[in-house]
Amino acid sequence: MGHQVIIFDFSVIRGLWETRVKEGKERQRKEKERLEKSSLEKIKQEWNFILECRKKGIPQSKYLKNGFVDMDEKIWDTYEKTPQLQKRRDFSDEANKERNKFIFQLSGEQWTDFPDSLKEQIYIKEWHVCNTLIQTIPAYIALFQDLRVLELSKNQINHLPVEIGCLKNLKVLNVSFNHLKSVPPELGDCENLEKLDLSGNMEITELPFELSNLKQVTVVDVSANKFHSIPICVLRMSNLQWLDISSNNLKDLPEDIDRLDQLQTLLLQKNKLTYLPRALVNMPNLTLLVVSGDDLVEIPTAICESTTGLKFVSLKDSPVETIVCEDTEEITESEREREQFEKEFMKAYIEDLKERDSAPSYTTKVLLSLQL
């Protein structure tokens, strides 16, 4: 008996999408034309000109005449030739060169491994590696005792080496959107860590108890994984201010979640929560709580009527069609891309909430979806 194959005709959707793209580009063109003709654009140009003049060390009296900006770029040519400005520029270039000596950057799919020369530069303080095909972090990372920032997002990394625990001065660890399935207990030895981002790995189910030692951590992002509960070690991070555990498999929250008394932002959307514990009301610093409201059957009234400045937002989850496909890796990558988009959306949404003085302190339904 053969397998049934379902065939979808996407030609109509594609036509709609292309029409919307064309309409969007046309709106952008008209908006650009409108801005170019508006006084705002002129003000922006004048401000950029003033900033450039200040950067070049040009006195205000040379580009301001009777209170109006003289946007004559010949002023730049005149002052660029002065010895004083050249000396200042040389000093700035030297400072940038000196700063860049301590930063290692790598990107591009042509990279499948770290260059051999890296092991000789143990004085480096920051690694910024993204969008490569690198799968492993070398054990010699233990030699980088001055390392402060380890940004390794959007690669193919499938495990963290135990040597990472040797990085006593590490403050930022970002291994988001890789292929991690677990985290080594040795990470708990990075006692000065302040930000931990493990989002978008899709497979992490638990964190080792040893991470309880990370008392300086203020930001933890473990969204888009497979956690069934908030890890015990996270509940013991006494300085935690931001926790994003959205897009997981949470069914409930621990009754002692209020032990996170420094927590300010808690993102829980796209889980399987059916109720919220009253303990959330006892968290004095919690100012933003985001959940998915479709499965919730019990919400403490005190949360919606909180007088502590808590912004409670309930997002409506859009149904996602599941298409059976033999290539599971392709499905996973598609999920990662969608999660990346939604994380960027949520970041922008939260920033907007913070900027609005009259942000809602009651339940609000917001459609969060990417529709063609």
Q: Predicted confidence band at 89 (pLDDT cuts at 50, 70, 90)?
A: low
pLDDT of residue 36: 66
Q: Of how many residues is the chain composed? A: 372
The two three-digit tokens of residue 98, written as one number: 């000196």
Strands 172-174 and 195-197: parallel
- pLDDT beyond 80 at 104: yes
Stronger pLDDT, 56 or 318, i.e. the higher one: 56
- Phi, psi for 314 (deg, rounded to 5): -110, 115
- pLDDT beyond 50 at 361: no
Ordered domains of the chain (ranges, CATH): 15-69 (no CATH), 95-318 (3.80.10.10)
Q: pTM for the full model?
A: 0.70
pLDDT of residue 341: 79
Answer whether 179's CB lies under 8 Å from 155's CB: no
Task: Name the least confident of 58-62, 101-105, 155-159.
Answer: 58-62
- Degrees (nearest 5) of the Cα angle 53, 59, 63? 60
- Which residue in the block uniquely carries the two structure tokens 């972090």? 137
Q: Predicted confidence band at 302 (pLDDT cuts at 50, 70, 90)?
A: confident
Rounded Cα distance, 116 and 108, in Å = 17
Rounded Cα distance, 176 and 198, in Å = 5
The two three-digit tokens of residue 58, written as one number: 């040009």
